[in-house]
Amino acid sequence: MTRSKFDKYIPLDIRSQFLAKIKLESEQILVSEIVNKCRDPKDDKFLDVALNGQATHIITGDKDLLELNPFEGIPILTPKQFLEFIKDIKP
């Protein structure tokens, strides 16, 4: 997010604030159960963290991950699908 290629979308100071907020809200996950389920092995790390961190959702645009929806009971949604989901549950 600090790469200059993102400058045309969002200024660096706003991206930096966003990253600082994520850091404050983040939780370190100990991965004790390793997953080997994705057709792209490089994506298994996201499944590892979701499963070990007891994620409620995985939000991605990655087709290899979306193909696994749901994974171990965890819905895998595109950002658009997730926004529709949360719009429907708001009181």
pLDDT at 6: 87
Token pair for residue 83? Answer: 């926004």
* pTM of the predicted model as reported, rounded to 2 decimal places: 0.75
**pLDDT tens-digit series, residues 2-12:** 788 888 999 99
Write down the domain spans for the chain.
Answer: 1-30, 35-91
Does 82 score more than 90 pLDDT?
Answer: yes
- CA 54 – CA 29 distance, rounded (Å): 9
| Type of residue found at 11 | P
pLDDT at 88: 78
- CA 32 – CA 88 distance, rounded (Å): 34
- CA 72 – CA 7 distance, rounded (Å): 37
Q: Where are the alpha helices (DSSP H) in 1-91?
A: 12-25, 44-52, 63-66, 79-89
